[in-house]
Amino acid sequence: MKTPTRILVLFCLLTLLVQGQNNIEEKIENLLSQMTIDEKIGQLQQGFNGSDNIENGIVNGKFGSFLNAGDIETKIEYQKLAVNESRLGIPLIFGRDVIHGYRTVFPIPLGQSATWNPDLVKKAAEIAAYEASEQGIHWTFAPMIDIARDPRWGRIAESPGEDPYLVSVMAKAMVEGFQGESLSNKNSIAACAKHFAGYGAAEGGRDYNTTLIPENELRNIYLRPFKAAKDAGVATYMSAFNDLNGVPTSGNKFTLKQVLRNEWGFDGFVVSDWGSMVEMINHGYCESETDVAKVAIEAGVDMEMVSQAYANELKKLIEEGLVDIEYLNTAVKNILRVKFRLGLFDNPFPEYEGESALLKSENLEFAKKVAHESLVLLKNDNVLPLSNTLNKIAVIGPLANSGRDQNGTWAPDGKSEDAVTPLTALRERFNDRIVYEAGLKTSRSTDIDNDAVLKAVQQSDVVLLFVGEEEIIAGEAKSRAFLNFPGKQKELIELVSQSNKPTIMIILAGRPLTFSAEAELVDAILFAWHPGTMGGPAIADVLFGDYSPSGKLPVTFPRTVGQVPYYYNHRNTGRPAPITYEADIPLGTPLNPKDFVSNYLDVPNSPEYPFGFGLSYAEFEYDDLSLSSTKIAPEENILVSLEVTNKSDIQADEIIQLYIRDRVGSITRPVKELKDFKKETFSPNETKIITFTIDKEDLSFYNYENKLVVEPGKFDIWVGPNSAEGLHAEFIVK
């Protein structure tokens, strides 16, 4: 297409878009003008399957939405009541937690992030939307994009990890996947960026706990993925449970009004989290339900999930002149806008085709691919990949055959019986060459069947040991003060190691765990997260060399829980940090100023496995880092290039990561920050030239006055296979 024609087409498209939006605004105004105050308040209420008097309520316009409404027939019945029998026929919007798949379950979001492959993550969300939309779901409470730096927090499983850049990339991918080309497409569902904001910084890693985050840290770290979601067109946001700097996020004018509406121009709607509005009473921020309704509506919460402060109190508040009706009108408009964008007024009912969309074979195949790429190889003493010709293979451990656990947290529509477990996949490949003995019933069990385990191990050539944590102890309200393997799994590993058989430990878990002692006892470690429906075949493929592992950690693995919160992009102290061991300090040592360093006496400062780390069966060499310029003006770009060579004779993927450090700032800057990455497939012995562009956005940060700035000075740049290694160069911003 010639440029003038292109411009014309673009202009026409834009005009149509603006007209469409104007059209929607007219329809909203028109509808609003017909609504009673009760009907308006009704739009703000999200009911759930346990709400009272549902049918009557729908007919009387008391609900704008439902979550967990039940099966598709129930949803159709409710929608018929809303559309055909309520006075204005406003359709309901049905929400559901479609977090990492619907019936086809993909790896938990933390595992998906370990793929560093936004295209895969986007398509996984698209498949989830496809399955869910055919079941009458219009709206998912995902993506969850809380930065999570503390593995004690169980909801780290739902997060794409600790890094603002990586989480932002994943946020965009998920929003685009769920929402498709247009929200009104039959298989698109509205996304919801949650939990807004700072929820992942819960003190002590204890769920729902207080968060204290200075504004520029909020903007530099925690808000960035939410802005990326906005830029990707996310339809809704969810406020959170946490008290943020003294103001609960479900009544927080700063995040919900100033940032989200005024600065970012968001025009969809905000839903509260489950009962989070009335929890402001427990927080000590509101006195009563009346107070809650006033605070939340004025802060900008449009829809109330489950609790009923708006339904009970808002009318009175408005009638008494204590709340301006414009707050209510704005909330209703925001909700109707999303309903119009979803096309619900024209197509309120799903095109129901029975179970047709669920578990399609090509989608299962794709789920296996996502699981492949999510697996992170942490250790390999030359035992992997295994040969297919082994005589006997022992499969041991409580997580070898647990569909429910491999599906992971927040997979309410996944079924354990659909999950192909590692045991099933391995038996399919090797039939009776597999000797299986769980050893422990669950990850928390304490009674090992020693004899049975030893018998299985002794007759085998290799041991595949499946340990970790169950789904039920990872996720919401599942914070843990210890990060070790629960139950008697350590003893199980010790028992197996007595046999001196090559042992591969496969860890299924929803969070980073600490296992340095156990790591010494095994020859290889594959970290599998909770890998979803097709986790078993994916693990088998990787163990036996059909796919070279390529996953890299989206979160730092600490050595011990005492180091957390631990994240790679921390700031420096003023002190050096040599390693000193408690046991090495001689009795009666006099105080020595040299010893006043920032470290623990009993553990090094380094992590067990750094952010971005993951091994491959191939070996990659990084060479020839060069910059197009080493001195730039703030507006200029730098082209970075290097050579990466696959030194092996197998095909493999590698994730090449670019980090920078702003040496001196008007506020101190992190010691490293991920700014870009590329995931590339390398043929055997292939060398590729990899290029990146560093631009103004990469160099900028929010300063003390919360202004986005690029400050002149020296920068470091590293390009490497993880956050702890890489080729280094420097440049200067003039």
Positions annotated as catalytic residues are 273
- For residue 101, the minimal CB distance to ligand NOJ (Å) is 15
DSSP SS3 for 281? helix
Q: What are the residues facing 468 on neighbouring strands?
A: 508
Total number of residues that touch ligand NOJ (CB under 6 A): 7
> Does residue 130 contact residue 359 with C-beta atoms inside 8 Å?
no
CA atoms within 13 A on the CB side of 212: 2
Token pair 């050539």 in the structure block, residue: 461
DSSP type of residue 603:
S
User: Binding string, 192-211, against ligand NOJ, x = CB under 6 A?
Assistant: --x-----------------
676 contributes a contact to ligand NOJ by CB under 6 A: no
- CB neighbour class for 388 (10 Å; exposed up to 12, middle 13-18, buried from 19): exposed
Q: Which of 43, 69, 97, 425 touches ligand NOJ (CB under 6 A)? A: 97
Identity of the residue, 44 or 710, whose beta carbon is nearer to ligand NOJ in the bound complex: 44
Is 141 or 153 the residue whose CB approaches ligand NOJ more closely? 141
Nearer to ligand NOJ, 142 or 638 (CB): 142
Query: What is the residue whose two structure tokens read 């929402």?
Result: 179
Q: Give the x/- contact pattern for ligand NOJ in 529-568, rule: CB under 6 A.
A: ----------------------------------------
Min separation Cβ 93 and ligand NOJ, Å: 14
The residues near 636 (Cβ < 8 Å, ≥ 6 apart) are: 629
CB 271 within 8 A of CB 48: no
Say if CB 28 and CB 336 are below 8 A apart: yes
Using only C-alpha atoms, what is the Rg of the chain?
27
Angle, CA of 446, 156 and 530, to the nearest 5°: 55
In the complex, the smallest distance separating the C-beta of residue 110 from ligand NOJ, rounded to whole angstroms, is: 15
Judged by CB under 6 A, does residue 369 bind ligand NOJ? no
Identity of the residue, 310 or 544, whose beta carbon is nearer to ligand NOJ in the bound complex: 310
Measured from the CB atom, is 243 or 541 closer to ligand NOJ? 243
- Number of Cβ within 10 Å of residue 199's Cβ equals 29
Q: Please, what's the b/e burial string for 401-438 (b: 16 or more CB within 10 A of its CB; e: otherwise)?
A: bbbbbbbbbbbebbebebbbbbbebbbeebeebbbbbb
CB of 42 to ligand NOJ, least distance (A): 20
For ligand NOJ, the binding residue among 94, 165, 237, 274 (CB under 6 A) is 274
Residue 194 CB, nearest distance to ligand NOJ (Å)?
Answer: 6
**476 interacts with ligand NOJ by CB under 6 A:** yes
Closest to ligand NOJ by CB, 270 or 528:
270
In order of 134, 187, 448, the CA distances from 181 in angstroms are 17, 10, 53
Binding to ligand NOJ, residues 293-312 (CB under 6 A): none
448 token code pair: 């090992």
Burial class (CB in 10 A: 0-12, 13-18, 19+), 461: middle
User: Least distance in Å: CB of 369 to ligand NOJ?
Assistant: 27
Binding mask 40-79 for ligand NOJ (x = CB under 6 A): ---------------------------x------------
Of 274 and 327, the one with the shorter C-beta distance to ligand NOJ is: 274
The residue from 150, 243, 273, 279 that contacts ligand NOJ (CB under 6 A) is: 273
User: Using CB atoms within 10 A of its CB, is residue 361 exposed (0-12), middle (13-18) or buried (19+)?
Assistant: exposed
Q: Which is nearer to ligand NOJ, 78 or 410 (CB)?
A: 410
Cα(429)–Cα(420) distance, integer angstroms: 13
126 binds ligand NOJ (CB under 6 A): no
CB of 483 to ligand NOJ, least distance (A): 22
Q: Which residue is nearest to ligand NOJ (CB)?
A: 141
Q: How far is the CB of 49 from ligand NOJ (least distance, A)?
A: 11
- b/e 489-501 (16+ beta carbons within 10 angstroms → b): bbebbebbbebeb
Does residue 141 interact with ligand NOJ by CB under 6 A?
Answer: yes
Contacting residues toward ligand NOJ, per CB under 6 A: 67, 97, 141, 194, 273-274, 476
